């Protein structure tokens, strides 16, 4: 009965601290993502109406990074308060032992690990796919935003639009259009120049074609530098210009691929992505369990004495994971080894950090005994 009450008490402290740390990290990440995306929107790279969806999708994709640090720091802070207020000492004096501590930490760690598993393998890739779709759509429609009178705007490849003014209903006045035509039989270049009194400008529903509906104008087709030009007057003409293909800059993103696609591929980048997703689930479990002995405080230590050690442990662990992923992507690390060596090294480091104080105590006791024995023998001889 006592252990059950103590377990619930410890679980409440660890859960509260973990939730508070996660909330703070979430706000920090939200601020960073919002500032970054707002900067892109201010430059005209993305429309303002998709800023919030992009922020939300970015947060969903980075949830796996928040969880392990929140569990480690939350458990350290929660147990640190209990050690500092001597609540754990009193409970252990009553026979509670350390089992409730590990049970409470394991419960919080299990919930966080399941959330990291769902985020890394299901929701995260789905959010990344939506993010890629929104950004690609923003790049594709960038040419249709911000049309200003008097400016020459390139439409696709080999097409230019200019107009003097625009009416309230979107009608363009005194329109100039120039576009490249297929080459002549002798290989010479051909152009079309259209002057119209007014026009309507729109984009197809799939953003693959620009439609310019011109009215009351003239069309000039021919080869520059020659007199062979055909002049046509028209009352209405529709020009269709293929929109350029758009893709995101940089190498293709692998965080949007499903687990089945990653497992079926032999590409080192995709193999590294699979190990990367699994690693953030394992790091949550490892840090969540090691936080229990790490949070143990000595008498008269402050409740936040172990926070710096926890932060350094997470920084080293995450740095090793990033380095291991880079080695795996370059082919410098065997694919069979993956990132498992990182977890082994991190566990060894954590064990070393936990055993180091005891090792120092053991060395101090040996030194004391080595100094105390001769003094004792000397006193006996003197007597």
pLDDT in tens, 194-240: 999 998 877 666 666 777 889 999 999 888 878 778 889 999 988 88
Residue 195 confidence (pLDDT): 92
Any domain includes 148? no
Any domain includes 324? yes
- Mean pLDDT, residues 322-333: 86
Residue 32 confidence (pLDDT): 87
For 92, phi and psi rounded to 5 degrees? -70, -30
Residues 19 and 98 in one domain: yes
Among 33, 26, 31, 84, residue whose Cα is nearest residue 58: 33
Q: Is 51 helix (H, G, I), strand (E, B) or coil?
A: helix
Q: How many folded domains does the chain comprise?
A: 2
Name, of 64-73, 237-246, 339-348, 363-372, the range with top average pLDDT.
64-73
- Mean pLDDT, residues 121-130: 87
By the 8 A CB rule, do 79 and 295 touch? yes
**pTM across the whole model:** 0.68
By the 8 A CB rule, do 189 and 183 touch? yes
The last residue of a domain, from among 186, 207, 242: 242
Percentage of the residues of the chain whose pLDDT score is greater than 70:
83
Residue 382 confidence (pLDDT): 47
- Mean pLDDT, residues 331-356: 79
Residues 94 and 237 in one domain: no
Which helix (H) or strand (E) covers residue 347, if one does?
helix 340-382
Residues 130 and 273 in one domain: yes
- Mean pLDDT, residues 130-145: 67
- Mean pLDDT, residues 164-174: 84
Flag whether pLDDT at 383 surpasses 50.
no
Residues 282 and 304 in one domain: yes
Domain range for 28:
2-140+250-373
Any domain includes 105? yes
By the 8 A CB rule, do 239 and 219 touch? no
Over the chain, what is the mean pLDDT? 81
- Mean pLDDT, residues 160-179: 85
pLDDT tens, 251-269? 567 888 888 888 888 888 8
Question: What span, in angstroms and rounded, lies between the C-alpha atoms of 335 and 275?
Answer: 10
């Amino acid at each position: 009965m006592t252990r059950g009450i103590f377990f619930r008490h410890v679980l409440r402290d660890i859960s509260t601290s973990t939730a508070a740390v996660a909330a703070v990290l979430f706000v920090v990440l939200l601020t960073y993502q919002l500032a970054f995306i707002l900067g892109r929107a201010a430059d005209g790279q993305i429309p303002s109406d998709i800023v919030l969806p992009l922020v939300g999708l970015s947060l969903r994709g980075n949830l796996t990074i928040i969880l392990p640090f929140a569990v480690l720091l939350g458990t350290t802070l929660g147990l640190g308060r209990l050690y500092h207020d001597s609540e754990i000492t009193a409970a252990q004096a009553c026979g509670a032992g350390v089992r409730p501590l590990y049970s409470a930490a394991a419960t919080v760690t299990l919930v966080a690990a399941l959330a990291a598993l769902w985020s890394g393998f299901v929701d995260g890739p789905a959010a990344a796919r939506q993010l890629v779709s929104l950004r690609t759509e923003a790049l594709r429609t960038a040419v249709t935003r911000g049309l200003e009178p008097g400016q020459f705007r390139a439409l696709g490849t080999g097409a230019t639009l200019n107009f003097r003014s625009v009416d309230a209903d979107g009608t363009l006045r005194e329109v100039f259009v120039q576009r490249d035509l297929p080459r002549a039989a002798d290989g010479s270049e051909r152009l079309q120049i259209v002057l119209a009194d007014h026009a309507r400008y729109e984009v197809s529903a799939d953003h693959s074609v620009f439609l310019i509906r011109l009215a009351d104008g003239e069309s000039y087709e021919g080869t520059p530098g020659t007199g062979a030009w055909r002049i046509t007057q028209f009352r209405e003409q529709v020009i269709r210009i293929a929109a350029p293909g758009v893709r995101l800059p940089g190498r293709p993103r692998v965080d949007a691929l499903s687990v089945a696609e990653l497992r079926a591929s032999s590409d080192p980048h995709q193999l590294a992505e699979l190990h990367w997703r699994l690693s953030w689930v394992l790091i949550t479990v490892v840090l969540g369990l090691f936080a229990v002995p790490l949070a143990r405080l000595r008498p008269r230590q402050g409740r936040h004495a172990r926070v710096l050690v926890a932060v350094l442990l997470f920084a080293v662990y995450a740095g090793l994971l990033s380095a291991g992923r880079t080695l795996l992507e370059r082919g410098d690390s065997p694919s069979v080894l993956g990132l498992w060596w990182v977890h082994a090294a991190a566990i060894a480091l954590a064990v070393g950090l936990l055993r180091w104080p005891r090792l120092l105590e053991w060395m101090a006791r040996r030194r004391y005994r080595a100094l105390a024995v001769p003094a004792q023998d000397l006193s006996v001889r003197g007597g």
